[in-house]
Structures are given as C-alpha cells and as structure tokens.
Amino acid sequence: MINKKENIFKILTSSYSSEKSSILSEKNNTFTFKVLKNSKKSEIKSSIEKFFNVKVKKVRTVMLKGKSKKHKNIIGKRKNWKKAYVVLKKNQKINLIKNIE
C-alpha cells in the first residue's frame, strides 16, 4: 500500500487516451492510465481514490511491450510500460479535461 509520505504521482504517471479508451469511458465508466511497471492493483486503486476523490470498483492491468523504432540507420526500442483500466462505481466521474479560460 502507499505510505502517507509517498507521492501519488509516483504510481500514476499519466492518463492515456486512445479511441478504445474514449469509448470505454463513455459506455462503461472506465478510465485508462499509464502506471509504474512494478505497481500493484491495490496501490493503483488507492492512489486513484485519493487523488480524484472517487470510489473505484475494479482495476485491470496490462503490460505492454515497447515498440521497435528506426531512426535513419539506428534501430532502437521504446520502454515496456503498464496500462491500468480503472472502473468506477456508479455515479462517479473523473474530469480529466478541465476548463481552460
């Protein structure tokens, strides 16, 4: 579990947006985040609940392999990363995009 002194941002690196994740957020109240590779589901759940002040129903995680990329004649590889699908309870919302004035 997360220590009180430990920062929530160490586990949640960023929100993740794709066509699939936007469909899931509209239909199933599921949000997608990039998280640390070694984080546990319970840590992800508690950090989401503390940061966004919502109740989490379920957390599913997926390890994704880094893609091979080529720049001129140099072949490199992106890092492996972990994606978390967070399902919220009914009547709970996360506002990822705030109004910009």
Strand partners, 81: 64
For the 8-88 domain, the top CATH level (class) is alpha beta
pLDDT at 42: 93
pLDDT at 99: 32
pLDDT in tens, the chain (101 residues): 555 546 677 898 888 989 999 898 889 999 999 999 999 999 999 999 988 899 999 999 999 999 999 988 999 999 999 999 999 999 988 877 653 33
pLDDT at 6: 62
pLDDT at 93: 86
| Residue in 29, 13, 12 with CA at minimum distance from that of residue 21 | 29
- 94 contacts 88 by C-beta, under 8 angstroms: yes
What's the CA gap between 77 and 86, in Å, rounded? Answer: 28
